[in-house]
Amino acid sequence: MRYVNVGIVGLGRLGKQHAENLVHRIPFCNLIAVCSISEQEVNEFIKPWNVPYGYTNYDDMLANEELDAVFIASPSSYHGEQIIKALEKGLHVFCEKPLSLYLSEAERVQQIVQRHPDQVFMLGFMRRYDHSYQTAKKKIEQGAIGDPIFIRCHGLDPASQMDNFLSFAKRNYSGGIFLDMAVHDFDLARWFLNAEPKETWAIGGGYARPEFEELNDAETGAAMVKFEQNKMGMFVASRNCAHGYHIETEIIGTKGSLRIGTIPEKNQVAIMQESGVIHECVTGFLERFEHAYLTEAEEFINCILMNQHPEVTVGDGVEATRLGYACKESFELERLISVTSYRQSC
């Protein structure tokens, strides 16, 4: 029985979660190396979990000949370069979203991935692996709502994380709300509608926190997108959601509609008190998509073992980035933007 030897780069909140999954929850997978620029993070992880190798330099980790695959969970700005290096070392690559914060880089990564057809490349659009989203996709394929013609996506991050984000964004280029956050929803839209975006208008502002406007970014933004076949998309992204982490999707078809996550309940408890009936909400992506993060990693390891490719392709990453980029431009230039034109210019 063959095992896949994996190394991970990035030990932030999500990186650590991936690492813990890889170390003991994914069958036929050995996490043999972790890498972070923080030596402390490396040591705190490898000791209790008996991971043999720790690195503070990505190139050093790639030099480890025992590795079969890498998991990239580093900051977004490193993704492109780290993917390319790993592919050129012959390794299978799993990379967290986004593929890149720059459309041109995303397209370059795509070309290089395509040059390594025998290596598994997977992008972390974990929502596609969530039970509820899987069920929705299957229902649509079975015809439960006819032809899907409209999608609405709410992607709202908890207000409690807004200060953290702002202090990060003041020091780093985050990509802005449409590229950094809505990109997950753009992927869902393409997946569910089975159509490419043609045109978009994006608006927004820094309502509670005008600092967002100084960063040329939006605290809360909205985009409307016209897709092929006249299909429609509406997207709301916010970093200021009082009740928690709210990921919601509505798909209207010609014969019915589906909603996923309308109320982002934390669990099955209803509290009945003087103020009414209360459902507490999930507080973040690790809580909401705990299971999906596990499933996508299982899929990655399985694909390696089975010589298959995952459903999520590098092209999906490029297209979601393209739409994110168009929305960012529309928001900045305050006009309708043709997404198609970005495609033709490549």
- CA 293 to CA 180: how far, in whole Å? 18
- Distance in Å, CB of 259 to a copy of itself, minimum: 4
Beta bridge partners of 202: 223
Return the SS3 of 68: coil
Residues 313-332 that bind a copy of itself (CB under 8 A): none
- Distance in Å, CB of 83 to a copy of itself, minimum: 28
The mark string for 223-262 relative to a copy of itself (x by CB under 8 A, - otherwise) is xx-x---x-x-x-x-x-xxxxx-x-----x-xxxxxxxxx
**Peptide bond before 98: cis, by omega within 30 degrees of 0?**
yes
CB atoms within 10 A of CB 25: 12
CB 235 within 8 A of CB 250: no
Strands 148-158 and 197-205: unpaired
Q: Which stretch binds a copy of itself (CB under 8 A): 71-79, 111-119, 268-276, 299-307?
A: 268-276
268 binds a copy of itself (CB under 8 A): yes
* Residue 48 CB-half CA count within 13 A: 6
1 binds a copy of itself (CB under 8 A): yes
CB 11 within 8 A of CB 45: yes
The letter for the amino acid at 85 is K
- Distance in Å, CB of 248 to a copy of itself, minimum: 9
273 binds a copy of itself (CB under 8 A): yes
292 binds a copy of itself (CB under 8 A): no
With CB under 8 A, what is the number of residues at the site for a copy of itself? 74
The letter for the amino acid at 313 is T
Identify which of residues 37 and 208 has a Cβ nearer to a copy of itself in the complex: 208
Identify which of residues 25 and 170 has a Cβ nearer to a copy of itself in the complex: 25
- Distance in Å, CB of 156 to a copy of itself, minimum: 8
Identify which of residues 67 and 145 has a Cβ nearer to a copy of itself in the complex: 145
- CA 270 to CA 279: how far, in whole Å? 5
2 binds a copy of itself (CB under 8 A): no
- CA 280 to CA 273: how far, in whole Å? 13
The letter for the amino acid at 251 is I
Q: Where are the beta strands (DSSP E) in 47-87?
A: 53-55, 69-72
Identify which of residues 23 and 103 has a Cβ nearer to a copy of itself in the complex: 23
300 binds a copy of itself (CB under 8 A): no
Long-range contacts formed by 257-260: CB under 8 A, 24+ apart: 257/145, 258/136, 258/139, 258/140, 258/144, 258/145, 260/132, 260/133, 260/136
- Distance in Å, CB of 195 to a copy of itself, minimum: 12
Residues 118-157 that bind a copy of itself (CB under 8 A): 131-132, 135-136, 139, 144-147, 149-150, 152
Residues 210-229 that bind a copy of itself (CB under 8 A): 220, 222-224, 226
Identify which of residues 113 and 153 has a Cβ nearer to a copy of itself in the complex: 153
50 binds a copy of itself (CB under 8 A): yes
Of positions 167, 168, 263, 308, contacts a copy of itself by CB under 8 A: 263
